[in-house]
């Protein structure tokens, strides 16, 4: 097994205390290290030769090493992976009544760069690190053994893979699939396109925020902007909202939202509107529309630090446009999945936008991802989701 070694000035203490990544500028990158094939397992040593653990190496990534096991002699095989999945499954089955959840949340569940979302007998694996790409069949085999899922999708798309130097590929790896998968959640039925939809087809991370927003919307009207497959809108209708309008730029996503509304028996109270979110916010304002609850859950406007300033301006713009559509005494929920934008910065951008709309608000609640998205304390990136709910004057 190859060895990679930290430079003398590299901070080994953070790794000993649980930080899971080793950056390329922290190791001796000689010719031998650069020749290691992406996804290879190696022993990580301090500059004086003391062992720190077993890592997976990718010289093509800024994260050259990801900690796999504190035991430098560990054997990473299907049994090792199955043990990690079994440990993750025990928590999810204790928390959820139905088998619909994020089963593996990467580093926080001990499988670096691996995301697994479960939709009953269907599971989607995102192998976002080189070792997971190389060992995909082992991961799929361990998943099938532990959970008995019949259908497994390989979703190799997204920014994380490009940073690892991995190609994009999405395919049916095991089993059969007839179409979108119905997913019961918060009293509604969602339709997840696990082969052609965004990410894995559904955003489980917003589940508790959907539920909170549904309480606010009970007995009133809701506007769900950047709605995808109707996450907030369908939960609100299930919780007693009188009407909901879902806005998104994607026609296929809105078609799934409409199918979910019909499957939930709420199609007569549910509308969709396709178009650019900013344009639709202005259109609704020009029409004089007002809603008792408005929710905006945009994509990551600040996916990294260089994009932070522009991203915060975009969040401010969303808040301004959305606040203008909230009825007096109504509620506004604003979300961010940008890990580069911390909670304080995001909240301040929202407050500026609300103020620029001529409104005043108080914060009722701040939400995050559900417990099937555990956060690794040493890795801020694992706590990416923020949802801030305001009541406006």
Residues 170-198 as b/e (b if ≥16 CB within 10 A, e otherwise) read eeebbeeeeebbbbebbbbbbbbbbbebb
Cα–Cα distance, 314 to 262 (Å, whole number): 33
Cα–Cα distance, 39 to 69 (Å, whole number): 15
E strands, the chain, are 3-5, 21-23, 40-45, 51-57, 63-69, 100-105, 114-119, 122-127, 151-156, 169-174, 181-185, 188-192, 221-225, 243-248, 270-274, 291-296, 326-336, 361-367, 386-392
The answer to whether the beta carbons of residues 110 and 67 sit under 8 Å apart is: no
Selecting among 296, 335, 337, 350, the annotated active-site residue is 337
Cα–Cα distance, 377 to 297 (Å, whole number): 25
Of 243, 245, 238, 247, the C-alpha closest to 221 is 243
Does 296 participate in catalysis according to the annotation?
Answer: no
Handedness of CA 249, 252, 257, 262 (dihedral sign): positive
CA terminus-to-terminus distance, the chain: 64
Calculate the alpha carbon distances from 136 to 132, 220, 263 in Å. Answer: 5, 47, 34
Q: Which residues does residue 43 pair with via DSSP β-bridges, in sequence order?
A: 3, 54
Of 203, 301, 205, 214, the C-alpha closest to 256 is 203
Q: How many residues does the chain have?
A: 393
Q: Are strands 122-127 and 151-156 parallel, antiparallel or unpaired?
A: parallel
Calculate the alpha carbon distances from 21 to 25, 111, 113, 295 in Å. Answer: 12, 12, 11, 35
Tell me which residue has tokens 């549904």.
Answer: 214
Give the residue numbers annotated as catalytic, written as ranges. 337
């Amino acid at each position: 097994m190859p060895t990679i070694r930290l430079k003398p000035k590299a901070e080994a203490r953070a790794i000993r205390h649980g930080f899971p990544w080793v950056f390329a500028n922290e190791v001796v990158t000689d010719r031998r290290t650069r020749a290691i094939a992406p996804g290879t397992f190696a022993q990580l040593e301090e500059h004086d030769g003391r062992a720190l653990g077993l890592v997976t190496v990718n010289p093509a990534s800024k994260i050259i090493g990801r900690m796999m096991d504190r035991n430098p002699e560990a054997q990473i095989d299907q049994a090792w992976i199955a043990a990690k999945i079994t440990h993750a499954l025990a928590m999810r089955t204790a928390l959820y009544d139905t088998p619909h959840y994020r089963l593996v949340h990467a580093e926080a569940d001990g499988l670096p760069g691996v995301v697994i979302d479960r939709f009953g007998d269907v599971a989607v694996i995102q192998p976002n690190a080189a070792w997971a790409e190389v060992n995909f069949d082992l991961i799929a085999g361990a998943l099938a053994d532990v959970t008995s899922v019949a259908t497994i999708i390989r979703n190799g798309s997204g920014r994380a893979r490009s940073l690892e130097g991995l190609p994009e590929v999405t395919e049916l790896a095991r089993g059969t699939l007839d179409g979108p998968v119905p997913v019961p959640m918060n009293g509604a039925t969602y339709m997840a396109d696990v082969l052609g939809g965004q990410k894995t087809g559904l955003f489980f991370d917003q589940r508790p925020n959907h539920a909170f927003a549904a309480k606010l919307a009970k007995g009133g009207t809701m506007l769900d902007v950047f709605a995808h497959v109707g996450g907030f809108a369908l939960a609100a209708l299930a919780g007693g909202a009188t009407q909901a309008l879902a806005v998104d730029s994607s026609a296929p996503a809105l078609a799934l939202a409409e199918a979910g509304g019909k499957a939930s028996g709420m199609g007569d109270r549910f509308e969709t509107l396709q178009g650019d979110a900013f344009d639709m916010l202005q259109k609704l304002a020009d029409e004089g529309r007002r809603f008792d609850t408005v929710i905006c859950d945009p994509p990551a406007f600040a996916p990294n630090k260089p994009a932070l300033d522009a991203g915060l301006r975009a969040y401010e713009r969303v808040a301004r446009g959305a606040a203008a559509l909230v009825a007096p005494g109504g509620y506004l929920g604003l979300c961010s999945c940008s890990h580069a934008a911390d909670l304080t910065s995001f909240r301040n951008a929202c407050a500026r936008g609300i103020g620029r709309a001529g409104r005043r608000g108080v914060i009722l609640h701040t939400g995050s991802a559900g417990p099937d998205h555990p956060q690794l304390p040493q890795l801020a990136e694992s706590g990416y989701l923020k949802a801030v709910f305001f009541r406006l004057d």
